């Protein structure tokens, strides 16, 4: 990819939250939002707040907003507008959609998940297996935290119904070859069920090119409000029997899987978030994040042990590490006192931490496009001063 100029100062100026002295390396847990997202939410509540189906102007505005939200989601995901589903969050959507899909399955059918997954794409399958007598198999990861595709292929059989996997690890930043895994799933006659929550702020999504049958993400991880967003192929949406109230409309297809009234003000914020990302362009975002990640990896102090790939090849700029002589919780606490927001623990990536032998988890620092090289240097410097 060619180098694309990126004015990080101009991007940061669009976020009032970034006027703080706190350096936000907590993007993997939820990003800050630009002012235009906040304004869109407030404007909707001031000027258009209503439910749909009313014969008056604010209701008609809300209906237009819902339609615009589907168009924005389609452009973000590379799908058709009627293939998108909005919900409370990724995990809630995943529990609901997994149970909808399972209406077609039988006892003894199998689901393959990976040890790279966030638990939001593991526990729904474990609970479903408990309820219906299904079998959940785990595809392993290699020592460098990349997905072991040979092990994954070995888990597949004619009973496999779903291969559930992440586009990128929320713990160690590793990318997965989504199209390759989807192809393996399809060869076995299974669905490719993609958790794109962690990948979504870091690169473009094209569900058709990826071969995804279902893909779920969270706008609050890509500069939007707390909301869940899913894609499912139209053939599946037409075939499945949704859990819905009887009067709820069947069209557009995705709507039949949306329970209750949508959070319209959050949809307004979502549209603004998609517009914000579009105004920057993925080439600029990816190039800047790569520079941030390279700076961090090249200068990580010797007292810090990195878990994951040592270069920016095959990863996003999310880094899990431990600090010699300090528990992850204590390291994160000391960094917070120095104005640096990082995470510690397992971040719901239970299988990754088990596989790496990290009983206490690790420190996690994640960069997104609004971070600066100066902030990265500041984090690196403070890591040398922890006591």
Q: What is the pLDDT at residue 5?
A: 79
Which run of H or of E encompasses 193? strand 191-195
Q: Is the pLDDT of residue 364 over 50?
A: yes
pLDDT tens-digit series, residues 318-363: 999 999 999 999 999 999 999 999 999 999 999 999 999 999 999 9
The domains of the chain are located at: 8-32+281-385, 39-277
271: left (phi over 0), alpha (psi -120 to 50) or beta: alpha
Q: Is the pLDDT of residue 3 over 60?
A: no
| CATH number corresponding to 39-277 | 3.40.640.10
pLDDT tens-digit series, residues 242-257: 998 888 888 899 999 9
Rounded Cα–Cα distance for residues 291 and 314 (Å): 14
Instruction: For residue 203, give both structure tokens.
Output: 């690169």
Domains 8-32+281-385 and 39-277 share a fold: no
Measuring CA to CA, how many Å separate 210 from each of 74, 85, 196?
15, 18, 11
Question: Which architecture characterizes domain 8-32+281-385 according to CATH?
Answer: Alpha-Beta Complex (3.90)
**Banded pLDDT at 4 (limits 50, 70, 90):** low
Q: Is the pLDDT of residue 273 over 70?
A: yes
Measuring CA to CA, how many Å separate 224 from each of 173, 271, 346?
21, 8, 24
């Amino acid at each position: 990819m060619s180098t694309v100029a990126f004015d990080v100062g101009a991007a940061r100026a669009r976020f009032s939250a970034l006027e703080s002295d706190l350096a936000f390396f907590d993007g993997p847990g939820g990003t800050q939002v630009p002012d235009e997202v906040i304004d869109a939410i407030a404007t909707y509540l001031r000027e258009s707040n209503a439910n749909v189906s009313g014969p008056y102007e604010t209701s008609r505005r809300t209906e237009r907003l819902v339609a615009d939200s589907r168009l924005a989601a389609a452009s973000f995901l590379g799908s058709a507008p009627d293939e998108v589903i909005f919900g409370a969050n990724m995990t809630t959507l995943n529990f609901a959609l997994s149970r909808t899909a399972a209406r077609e399955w039988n006892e003894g059918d199998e689901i393959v998940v990976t040890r790279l997954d966030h638990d939001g794409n593991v526990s729904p399958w474990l609970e479903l297996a408990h309820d219906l007598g299904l079998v959940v198999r785990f595809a392993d990861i290699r020592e460098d935290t990349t997905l072991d595709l040979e092990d994954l292929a070995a888990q597949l059989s004619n009973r496999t119904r779903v291969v559930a996997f992440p586009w990128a690890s929320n713990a160690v930043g590793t990318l997965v070859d989504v199209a390759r895994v989807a192809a393996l799933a399809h060869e076995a006659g299974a669905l490719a069920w993609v958790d794109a929550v962690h990948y979504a702020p870091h690169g473009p999504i094209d569900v058709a090119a990826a071969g995804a049958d279902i893909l779920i993400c969270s706008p609050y991880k890509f500069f939007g409000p707390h909301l869940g967003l899913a894609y499912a192929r139209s053939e599946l949406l037409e075939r499945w029997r949704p859990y819905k109230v009887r009067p709820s409309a069947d069209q557009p297809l995705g709507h039949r899987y949306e329970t209750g009234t949508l959070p319209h003000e959050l949809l307004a914020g979502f549209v603004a978030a998609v517009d914000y990302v579009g105004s920057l362009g993925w080439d600029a975002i990816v190039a800047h994040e790569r520079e941030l990640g390279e700076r961090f990896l090249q200068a990580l102090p010797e007292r810090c042990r990195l878990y994951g790939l040592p270069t920016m090849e095959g990863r996003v700029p999310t880094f899990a590490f431990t600090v010699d002589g300090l528990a992850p919780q204590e390291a994160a606490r000391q960094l917070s006192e120095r104005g640096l927001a990082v995470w510690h623990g397992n971040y719901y990536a239970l299988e990754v931490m088990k596989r790496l032998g990290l009983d206490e988890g690790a420190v996690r620092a994640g960069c997104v496009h609004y971070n600066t090289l100066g902030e990265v240097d500041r984090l690196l410097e403070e890591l040398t001063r922890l006591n």
